[in-house]
Amino acid sequence: MTTEVTKTFVASPSGPVNGDILVPGDKSCSHRSIMFGSLAEGTTHVSGFLPGEDCLATMNAFKAMGVNIEGPNENNEVTIEGKGLHGLTAPKAQLNVGNSGTSIRLLAGILAGQSFASEMIGDNSLNKRPMRRVIDPLRLMGANIEASEDGTPPVTSHGLGENLLKSIHYDLPMASAQVKSCVLLAGMYADGVTSVTEPGVTRDHTERMLKAFGYPVTVEGNKISIEGGHKLTACDFLVPGDISSATFFMVAGLIAKSGEITIRNVGMNPTRIGAINILKQMQGDLTVINERMAGGEPVADIVVRASNLQGIEVNASDVPLAIDEFPAIFVAAACAQGTFKLRDAEELRVKESDRIQSMADGLVELGIDCTVYDDGIDIIGGQLTSGVVNSHDDHRIAMSFAIASLRSSGDIKILDCDNVATSFPNFVQLANEVGLSVVVE
């Protein structure tokens, strides 16, 4: 038997945090740039692409379906020779999308609309995640698609042959941009107008990108409608910096004993700024400057200064807007005065790991008092100690505990950190540049 050797981070007490940095491209936008570019007519040029493993998995899936894609080069530029909505060809093997929930759920919508059969698989973490949330609406649309009996991958689409999908109206049972996007993408292959209503605002990159690629989409309040049969037209697409990656450095700058860090070119899409709202409410000294538009998305620079954070009750409306940022926000909470309370966040339990439990386990190991609820957590701020924590193969848990070392009394050893490469390949380098001390073993 071979034992897999995985990366461990050893993060030591450090700081101050100072610097002027760029974070890598937005993961959600990078995935979608490949999907839309591949299905468009003409050649799409993407810049600012995130060369993380998740987005490369999406790229490889489209390459396996006959799309010519070049890059990313050293400047993170990608060129995609679009095949049009009906130009993909049957993959010769299973499509392995690794750790990436966005790949499998959005691709499910695209593959459901193809004439040919295909099957998607993932890694150990993805293979435990719920897929019925996309299978159910797709089957209502007449798709011949299924997951395994317990609702997890593989996701198998048997293909439509000559048929079209049926248009539906779908009330999303949960606030999920992946499910919304899956249905909208399938809607491009349906026989009429497909619409979705969402119970809370979720990231709207799909809607924005449909427009950027010239595909008509209607947004009326929380209802989004798309008619089948139109086409996507290639364009030049600029990916903004990822606010989810930036959040690790926002929290680092806030919890550091001193210092000031500027994070440039951060995507400020209003459906993504929950972390900024929450950290400001916690008395974090964050200043948003140079607000501008780039590639159809608002971007800005964020100046962060060391702050005395306070525990708060998170507003329910901020939860979907900060859904990927909670692991880092929990570290801010552990360093704050008083109690931080989060509810209405049950979706955190079905991310790359159960992020409520993974973070609670690690924080308790580091001496922080936490109470876990089905849909949230209470965290009482205190002194972080040294300890060994498990990332549960979850990139955001690994990076959050690395940041926590800024305020720990001794080293934090973080196990299973390989997956940091899915979203933030240069995290360790950047962390060390701004004043943290993280060694990879």
Q: Which residues bind ligand S3P (CB under 6 A)?
A: 28, 102, 176-178, 181, 203, 323-324, 347
Q: Which two tokens stand for residue 243?
A: 């606010």
Question: From the CB of 49, what's the least distance to ligand S3P, in Å?
Answer: 15
C-alpha distances out from residue 19 to 50, 242, 250, 402, Å: 21, 17, 12, 18
Nearer to ligand S3P, 44 or 181 (CB): 181
CB of 50 to ligand S3P, least distance (A): 11
Annotated binding residue at 180?
no
Q: Is 7 annotated as a binding residue?
A: no
Does the annotation place 105 within a ligand binding site? no
For residue 297, the cross-strand partners are 294
User: Is 176 known as a binding-site position?
Assistant: yes
DSSP per residue over 336-351, as a string?
A: SBSEEEE-S-GGGGGS
245 is in an annotated binding site: no
Radius of gyration for the alpha carbons in the chain, expressed in angstroms and rounded: 21
DSSP letter at 273 equals T
Determine whether the annotation assigns residue 292 to a binding site: no
Shortest Cβ 106–ligand S3P spacing (Å): 7
Q: How far is the CB of 34 from ligand S3P (least distance, A)?
A: 12
How many CB atoms lie under 10 A from the CB of residue 366?
25
Catalytic residue from among 54, 324, 416, 418: 324
Between CA 112 and CA 165 the distance in angstroms is 8
Peptide bond into 320 cis (omega under 30): no
Q: What backbone torsions phi and psi does residue 372 show, to the nearest 5 degrees? A: -95, 135
Closest approach, Cβ 423 to ligand S3P, in A, equals 8
Nearer to ligand S3P, 156 or 181 (CB): 181
Give the angle 152-136-104 at the CA atoms, nearest 5°. 45
In this complex, which beta carbon is closest to ligand S3P, that of residue 97 or of residue 384?
97
272 belongs to an annotated ligand binding site: no
d(CA 405, CA 437): 8
Q: Which is nearer to ligand S3P, 282 or 323 (CB)?
A: 323
Is residue 324 annotated as a catalytic residue, yes or no? yes
Two tokens, residue 382: 């205190």
- CB count in 10 Å sphere of residue 120: 26
Nearer to ligand S3P, 321 or 332 (CB): 321
C-alpha 377/C-alpha 340 separation (Å) is: 8
Q: Kindly tell me which of 112 and 323 has the beta carbon lying closer to ligand S3P.
A: 323
CB of 347: closest distance to ligand S3P in angstroms? 6
Q: Which of 58, 38, 154 is nearest to 100 (CA)?
A: 58
Rounded Cα distance between 289 and 262, Å, is 10
Active site members:
324
Known binding residues for phosphoenolpyruvate: 27, 101, 129, 178, 355, 396
